[in-house]
Amino acid sequence: MLVDMRTRTDRITAHDGSFDAAVWLPDAETGPGILLVQEIYGVGPYIEKVAIELASRGYVVAAPDLFWRLEPHWIAEHTPEGTAAAIELSQRFDVAQGVADCALTVSHLRRLPEVRDGVGALGFCLGGSVDYMLATQFELDAVLSFYGSAVPDATGLMERIAAPLLLVFGGDDPYIPRERVAAVEKAAEGRPNVVVHVEEEAGHAFHNSESPMFHQPEPAARAWEVALAFLEEHLPVR
């Protein structure tokens, strides 16, 4: 945990209102930008933990509040009850609007004086679907999608993604069956910009260290090392 890390909340204007994006700055106060796209639990302790680690590695991180039209500043607990409430809310979420909000956040990052040397995107669960869709429409320097459930049904859009793309899945994910992951692997064949990493024994949301229901420390550590190496290669901190 960085003691004196600079954090703030920026306000971003959309066509139908405005929303908050939490921003974390590295010690150097400048660096490449990363759009961090939330899970269904909101921009809560887990997303904050990921953001703090990325900022500690030199990135300027922005996490938009994607549920602002439904429940501004929504944060759900990592309990069965909190998960059920978050799933219900996410079913009312308009993905296309979320993608548009993320595009606005990327544009905001690129305008920040603290951001240099490119902008990438990292999303988990819902966020993994959103940043994959964003990459089909918007130019990015690197895209990392962790277990995005919409990805297997959108492999036909993969050809639209020019950015380096890392797709992470669990091989034992009840929400994304292994055969659907295999379809993603097949679609990625012959695409030099796409890497598919599967932790075969892991389930859904296995990287979420705030969730006792989902977290699997060993697969999480391995997948995170892959993600960090991917960022170092395609979105390096100089």
- pLDDT tens for 118-141 read 999 999 999 999 999 999 999 999
Q: Report residue 47: phi and psi, to 5°.
A: -65, -40
> Can you say how many angstroms the Cα of residue 216 is from the centroid of all Cα atoms in its chain?
18
- Domain annotation covers residue 63: yes
What is the per-residue pLDDT across 55-75, written as a single tens digit (0 to 9) for each? Answer: 999 999 999 999 999 999 999
Q: What is the pLDDT of residue 1?
A: 35
**CATH classification at residue 51:** 3.40.50.1820
Where in the sequence is the domain holding 129, given as residue range(s)?
6-234
Tell me the three state secondary structure of residue 31.
Answer: strand
Task: Determine, yes or no, domain membership for 138.
Answer: yes
**Tokens 């699997």, located at residue:** 216
Return the DSSP state at 159: G
What does the pLDDT look like over 17-46, one tens digit per residue?
A: 999 999 999 999 999 999 999 999 999 999
pLDDT for 136: 97
50 to each of 59, 89, 97, 178, 183, how far by Cα in Å?
11, 23, 24, 26, 29
Q: Tell whether 93 is covered by a domain.
A: yes
- 214 close to 186: Cβ distance less than 8 angstroms: no
Q: Does some domain include residue 1?
A: no
Q: How many domains, in total, are found in the chain? A: 1
Q: Residue 219's pLDDT is what?
A: 98
Dihedral angle over CA of 231, 212, 173, 148, nearest 10: -40
Reported pTM: 0.96
Strands 17-25 and 165-170: unpaired
Phi, psi of 114 (to 5 degrees): -80, -15
Mean pLDDT within 209-222:
96
Does the structure show a pLDDT above 50 at 3?
A: no
CA 118, distance to chain mean position in Å, is 16
Average pLDDT over residues 172-199: 97
Give yes or no for a contact between 123 and 131, defined as CB atoms under 8 angstroms apart.
yes
In a domain, 58, yes or no: yes
pLDDT in tens, 81-121: 999 999 999 999 999 999 999 999 999 999 999 999 999 99
Strands in 38-93 per DSSP E: 60-64
What pLDDT is recorded for position 5? 62
Computed over every residue of the chain, the mean pLDDT equals 96
How large a percentage of the chain has pLDDT more than 70? 98
Kindly indicate the confidence band of residue 6, based on its pLDDT and cuts at 50, 70 and 90.
confident
